[in-house]
Amino acid sequence: MLIYGSSLSPFVRKTMVFATEKGLAYDNKVVRLGQPDTEFDACSPFGKIPGFQDGDFKISDSSAIITYLDAAHPEPNLIPTEPKARARTVWYEEYADSIFVGAAGPIFFNRVVGPRFMGAQPESQVKSPRPMRTLSWPGRRLQTSSSASVGCSGPKALLGAADGIAYIPSMALDALLEEISACRVCAPYLPHTPRPVTRVSAATRILIAGQAPGRLVHETGLPFNDPSGVRLRQWMGIDRETFYGRSEIGVAAMAFCFPGTNPKGGDYPPPPRCAALWRSRLLAALPNVELTLLVGGYAQDWALAGRTGRTMTETVARWREFGPNVLPLPHPSWRNTAWLKRNPWFEAEVTPFLRQRVTDILGR
């Protein structure tokens, strides 16, 4: 598998990132302007990069290449299959390839390409062929979508039009959240219609990994909108307005849907199929997380595989071993009130540390 073109090009980078995310091995042959290359010409008759060759198959254009790769190597799936998410992914890609590059390209050429590779002096002012408001559109779009509960909208960062543009990972998350919202994998096993509930954004820096939504959360669509949430907020040292109003705070449980109530008492445990299907992809789309709160044994077992204690109590008691970025906690359910009384060290030692970490992160 061979990709023609320089990684300086955002379109070549997009193709490389996509192939890397697929776990595919490829070679890169740099093609320079004005230097004839018959093999490249066979792939790209109009001389546009990237060119691509896989065996005897040859094609050009980054969008065509990643479409081929996703179809030829469907696992892992990077272009959503859910119709709305797929359409939105294509639109975001088109925005990055055409509108964004059309607006920012002259600026990039003036500041980078010209001075570094052509010996040109950068001009003090450069006129973009498109209004600069086109560059702020993703920010406006995401402020009204991806910080809300899942179901608002959602591609993994395969659109990278330019390094350092924070909007592109946000678009990736937006598409993923739409996929999660549409998930009905557990429908045959639940006594009710699945309602995935999570609340994350590209700005999430504190991630709360709980067990699964309870009945009240299922009904309202708001995570930790119950007595457990009241206690959790007390541990964190924040009020309800801060918890739901700050985009730095995100919630993604081990299972996104209410698993149902056990006739013997309490809710059923989170089905492992949810974490297997979604969790790694979601965490990869949250690059800014600084603190993960592992609330309860299920989250701890998943995140600290092989490092947990024999019991949840032992794991929480060893909280210092997991570093400042991961903190195991008991579940804040009223059912654990007796546990808190038996283990006063938790509120004497762990809670102050948690509050300080939350204060430090939200204060920056």
State the pLDDT confidence band at 306, using cuts at 50, 70 and 90: confident
Between vectors from CA 170 to CA 169 and to CA 173, what angle results, nearest 5°? 90
Residue 66 lies in a domain: yes
Pick from 173, 172, 247, 167: which is nearest to 205 by CA? 247
Same domain, 274 and 344: yes
Q: What is the pLDDT of residues 19-76, one digit of tens each?
A: 988 989 999 888 765 567 899 999 998 888 899 999 999 999 999 999 999 999 998 8
User: Which of 156, 177, 198 is where one domain is finished?
Assistant: 177
Same domain, 333 and 194: yes
Name the residue range of residue 164's domain: 83-177
Most confidently predicted of 80-84, 206-210, 265-269: 206-210
User: Which of 154, 177, 200 is where one domain is finished?
Assistant: 177
Pick from 232, 197, 200, 199: which is nearest to 216 by CA? 197
List the CATH number of the domain containing 318: 3.40.470.10
Same domain, 209 and 336: yes
Can you give the pLDDT at residue 155?
Answer: 36
State the pLDDT confidence band at 1, using cuts at 50, 70 and 90: very high
Contact present, 173 and 198 (Cβ < 8 Å) = no
Residue 324 lies in a domain: yes
Same domain, 265 and 136: no
Rounded to an integer, what distance in angstroms lies between the CA atom of residue 290 and that of residue 239?
20
Contact present, 85 and 178 (Cβ < 8 Å) = yes
State the pLDDT confidence band at 119, using cuts at 50, 70 and 90: low
Domain count, the chain: 3
Q: What is the pLDDT of residues 329-355, one digit of tens each?
A: 999 999 899 999 999 999 999 999 999
Can you give the pLDDT at residue 101?
Answer: 73
Query: How do strand 51-54 and strand 326-329 relate by DSSP bridges?
Result: unpaired
Rounded to an integer, what distance in angstroms lies between the CA atom of residue 357 and that of residue 355?
5
Q: What is the pLDDT of residues 70-91, one digit of tens each?
A: 999 998 888 988 898 889 888 8
Same domain, 215 and 335: yes
Residue 236 lies in a domain: yes
Of all residues in the chain, what percent carry a pLDDT higher than 70?
80
pLDDT of residue 309 exceeding 80 = yes
Sheet with 326-329, edge to edge strand ranges: 249-251, 206-209, 291-295, 326-329
Can you give the pLDDT at residue 33?
Answer: 58
Same domain, 62 and 87: no
